[in-house]
Amino acid sequence: MERKKTSITRHIVRVFAYLVAAWLLGFGYFLMTMPEEPAEMQGADAIVVLTGGAGRLEAGLELLEAKVAKRMLISGVNPVVKSGDLSALTGAEQTLFNCCVDLGKAALNTKGNADETAEWANVYGFSSIVLVTADYHMPRSLILFRRAMPKVHIVAHPVSGEWPILFLAKEYSKYIVTLVRHARGPN
């Protein structure tokens, strides 16, 4: 009986070691293949910026000012923030916000961003969007956005930065969970 318990324990340890090795290899691949900011951006119906990180809003506004699209949604905005606050923060003209920027205040997470954007895109009849978020966040965001808007063409515009390794490891784990959920079918 003791020998059987030892065998089961060894088997469990071996499976755990394989899982850890697979996670580490996958994480290395994730780091090596993080998307880079595109050199040239083609036109789209709209731009969507996900809040939560440095440089995202500025990148979206640069695209809007370059007329890559005519309208922009900032998804995941704190409900107390007004467009004037963002105009002052970024140095962009308030007239740009007044004519062309919508603030999405319903999303609390990336799935919420995708759902909020899908509703917004549907209202305006958009069939293509430029998605602006951090490079580490783009792979998971694309899965969720493509699921929420299967008929909308989504162009990635990742914002590069220097991220702590544990922060990236947490995002990679979320990415794996999203992949597994997506493989199982609709939520």
Q: What is the pLDDT of residues 98-118, one digit of tens each?
A: 999 999 999 999 999 999 999
Claim: this prediction has a pTM higher than 0.85: yes
Burial of 116 (0-12, 13-18, 19+ CB in 10 A): buried
Q: What is the total count of domains within the chain?
A: 2
- The answer to the question of residue 66 being in a domain is yes
List the domain range (segments joined by +) for residue 123.
46-184
Pair (105, 17) in one structural domain: no
Pair (14, 54) in one structural domain: no
What CA–CA distance (Å, rounded) separates 46 from 126? 7
Contact between 121 and 96 under an 8 Å Cβ cutoff? The reply is: no
Residue range 44-102, pLDDT digits in tens? 999 999 998 889 999 999 999 999 999 999 999 999 999 999 988 888 899 999 999 99
Burial of 99 (0-12, 13-18, 19+ CB in 10 A): exposed
